[in-house]
Amino acid sequence: MRLPALRLDRHVVALLLVTVVWGLTFPILKIATASLSGVEISALRFLIAAICMAPFVWGVPRRSWRDGLVLGAMALVSYVAQAYGLQFISSNRSAFITSLNVIMVPLLAWGLGARPAWKVFLAAFLACLGIGLMSFDGGAHVLADASTVFGALACAAYVLFLSRCANAHRPHQLATAQMCWMALLGCLWMALDSGVEALQTLPLRISPSVWGGLLYLGVVASALISFLQASAQRHVPASQAAVIYAMEPVFAALFAWFWLSELLTLRAAFGALIVVFAVVLSEEQPSSKPANWAS
């Protein structure tokens, strides 16, 4: 059997870089949830991201604000649901459940009328299998698991909508609108969820190490990554991008092993190899052109 050829063009490399950055967010979030709620972490990270994008605000057109609101709401729900789950489950388990969006994206695309190539479905299945071997630890928590699954669904919807609208916007304008909406919605959510007493103690609960993590989450994992996604997904179909994003838990497991001393077994290494093969398989040129709305 001939192995598929991997086309590492700059857009694929950009999405792979996104997964590296995302992989590091899991141990950072795990540490931050010891003193902050999921809503507080999300609100603060996106407030920092919005400040970074402030120089581009005045040139953003109305249509970017409109689509940015939809993307921002989807992403905010995904991040808050994920951060809530991390309060009760390991970063490895969270990475596994979150990565189920890999199979959700082509299924949602199919339901919306697109026809992803059969290799995309096979690659998505292999990615989920590999991630399951790599990081499913059996530490079930019904509410946290359900929250993380809901976050994965919101993430899948985000990937689909971003691929659909990215070509209609300049990447920095769409990223700016998205971050500003996420900061506004996140702060409103935090104000309603936390209450006056929690908000008053917020500065006292943020240690220097947590501040460092929030800066990474806001500047790198939010502001920079939203620009990379908006730019790269103009050229990569949504279903293929989702499989590339399956590399996220591979890096998450490596960072968790190095930083949090979470176990990395031989089974996990074998699962990681399956995920890498799934990404390679998804990169093989299909025989037919993907649907226009997702390209």
* Tens digit of each residue's pLDDT (9 = 90 or more) over 87-139: 887 776 777 777 777 777 877 877 777 776 777 778 777 877 776 776 555 55
Q: How far apart, in whole angstroms, are the C-alpha atoms of residue 146 and residue 64?
A: 32
Quote the pLDDT of residue 293. Answer: 32
Quote the pLDDT of residue 185. Answer: 93
Q: Where are the domains of the chain?
A: 10-294
Angle between helices 91-98 and 62-85 (to 10 degrees): 140
Q: What percent of the chain has pLDDT over 90?
A: 22
Contact 15, 230 (CB under 8 A): no
Q: How far apart, in whole angstroms, are the C-alpha atoms of residue 127 and residue 236?
A: 18
Quote the pLDDT of residue 70. Answer: 95
Of residues 290 and 89, more confidence is placed in 89
Q: Which residue has the tokens 């700059």?
A: 10
pLDDT (average), residues 141-170: 88
Contact 255, 26 (CB under 8 A): yes
pLDDT band at residue 277, thresholds of 50, 70 and 90?
confident
Burial class (CB in 10 A: 0-12, 13-18, 19+), 215: middle
**Which DSSP state fits 112?**
T
pLDDT (average), residues 139-148: 79
Total-model pTM: 0.72
pLDDT tens-digit map of 238-260 = 777 877 877 777 777 777 677 66
Count of beta carbons in the 10 Å neighbourhood of residue 119: 20
